[in-house]
Copies of this chain bind each other. A is one copy, B any other.
Amino acid sequence: MEASKSLREHGLRIGELEPGPAGTIGDVAGVSVGHSTVSLTGVTAVLPGPADRLWAEPAAAGVAVLNGAGELTGSVQIAEWGLIETPVYLTATMSVGRVYDGAVAAAMAAEPLIGVEAVVIPVVGECDDSWLNDPREMPLQSEDVEKALADAAASSSVSQGAVGAGAGMVCFGWKGGIGSSSRLARGGHTVGVLVLANYGDGPDLRIDGVPVGREIRPAREHRDPAGSCIAVVATDAPLGSAQLTRVARRAGLGLARTGSVAHHGSGEIFVAFSTSARVPRGEPAPPALADSELDPIFLATVDATEEAVLNALWAAETTSGRDGRLFERLPHEPVLELLAHHGRLRD
């Protein structure tokens, strides 16, 4: 049993659908992900396509809120226009301003018409990493946005775990962070999900329905469930904004399967976009699928979200932070044994 294998490589199957080749949001053609990690905090960028075309050809998008104790800038505009004009950025709560500022700078650098023909509102989501990271120190700078974008441009795969915005996150009492997964939906479209997982009350953790949280606990229990989870859903299915809003809402069902009850202090905010429904400024939205074809996308979204959270837990490393706090990574061997005991690991 090697620690570097993924849960799927160990035989876990969340749902019946197959993932894409990489098993990450990067399986949606055109999507790239980059990180800048600064000490115990950071920024992550998820791009629907090349950054220099996003403002001229925004991507159809939708947003959904399961519990709104959080922030996703741009969400008001997404709700009205159904578009994103920048990458989706993720960071720590009190760094949203710096990332917004860096995102504006990056957008202006990529597109000379910004500020001339119209302005731009970037999309920046957050979770609170202050269990590990001291948020008063604020080491992240607006320039880290460019680093994350450069990383996205240079990376052919999606790094997961305690990286970028995920550096200081905590999930079900274990070290959390960035996780991703994908599914090949019936009908031929790909759905990818990336989560910033920073939520959950330890005993509630379920893995593929197995009550792992009841059986396996960290040495030092942490029972403050107020955290958040941002999910980014990408698809190559040509969907309109109302459809993508509905897709985004399904991310919450994937979280529920992992044990989320969407605590009062938590920000479960989800954004979905389509890489094939780009809407050049001033032009009509392109044709979209029939609503009756959404069910396969919904199922893929729920499954991929569930697995993305598990992947975040699986990829994260034990991390120590402020005030002598230490968050262990989910212990692989006992979990695999428990899953095997419940018949969940296929050969």
- B-binding residues in A (CB < 8 A): 16, 65-77, 79-82, 93-94, 96-104, 108, 114-116, 118-122, 128, 130, 134-136, 138, 142, 203-204, 206, 208-211, 214, 225-226, 240-242, 246, 249-250, 252-257, 260-265, 267, 269, 281-285, 287-292, 294-295, 298-299, 301-302, 341-343
* Alpha-carbon distance between A121 and B127 when the two chains are bound, in angstroms: 11
Contact indicator B97/A101 (Cβ below 8 Å) = yes
Considering the complex, give the chain B residue whose CB is closest to the CB of A207. B209
Contact indicator B203/A16 (Cβ below 8 Å) = yes
Contact indicator A66/B249 (Cβ below 8 Å) = yes
Contact indicator A262/B288 (Cβ below 8 Å) = no
Considering the complex, give the chain B residue whose CB is closest to the CB of A68. B80
Q: How far is the CB of A266 from chain B (nearest CB, A)?
A: 9
Contact indicator B250/A252 (Cβ below 8 Å) = no
User: Can you sample 8 A-B contacts with CB below 8 Å?
Assistant: A16-B203, A67-B80, A71-B77, A73-B73, A94-B120, A119-B135, A256-B302, A284-B289
**Chain copies in the assembled complex:** 4
* Alpha-carbon distance between A267 and B76 when the two chains are bound, in angstroms: 9
Instruction: List B contacts of A285 (CB < 8 A).
Output: 240, 288, 290-291
Instruction: List B contacts of A69 (CB < 8 A).
Output: 77, 80-81
Instruction: List B contacts of A73 (CB < 8 A).
Output: 71, 73, 96
Q: How far is the CB of A199 from chain B (nearest CB, A)?
A: 12
* Alpha-carbon distance between A230 and B309 when the two chains are bound, in angstroms: 28
Whether A68 contacts B79 in the complex (CB less than 8 A), given A100-B100, A119-B93, A282-B290, comes out as: yes
Contact indicator A115/B134 (Cβ below 8 Å) = yes
* Alpha-carbon distance between A341 and B341 when the two chains are bound, in angstroms: 10
Instruction: List B contacts of A242 (CB < 8 A).
Output: 82, 240-242
Given A70-B121, A75-B75, A119-B128, 17 other A-B residues pairs in contact with their CB atoms under 8 A: A16-B203, A65-B80, A68-B81, A73-B73, A77-B267, A82-B242, A94-B115, A96-B100, A108-B136, A115-B134, A240-B240, A242-B242, A249-B262, A250-B262, A253-B255, A282-B292, A285-B291
Instruction: List B contacts of A114 (CB < 8 A).
Output: 136
Contact indicator A77/B66 (Cβ below 8 Å) = no
Contact indicator A136/B115 (Cβ below 8 Å) = yes
* Alpha-carbon distance between A81 and B92 when the two chains are bound, in angstroms: 20
Give the contacting residue for A100; candidates B97, B116, B253; CB below 8 A.
Answer: B97
Identify which of A260, A295, A342 gathers the most chain B CB atoms within 10 Å of its CB: A295
Contact indicator B94/A263 (Cβ below 8 Å) = no
Nearest 7 CB-CB pairs, A to B? A209-B209, A97-B100, A68-B80, A97-B101, A256-B256, A253-B256, A115-B136
Identify which of A73, A208, A263 gathers the most chain B CB atoms within 10 Å of its CB: A73
Contact indicator A269/B120 (Cβ below 8 Å) = no
Instruction: List B contacts of A264 (CB < 8 A).
Output: 246, 291-292, 294-295, 298
Whether A253 contacts B262 in the complex (CB less than 8 A), given A97-B101, A136-B115, comes out as: yes
* Alpha-carbon distance between A67 and B343 when the two chains are bound, in angstroms: 33
Considering the complex, give the chain B residue whose CB is closest to the CB of A254. B256
Instruction: List B contacts of A250 (CB < 8 A).
Output: 261-262
Considering the complex, give the chain B residue whose CB is closest to the CB of A242. B242
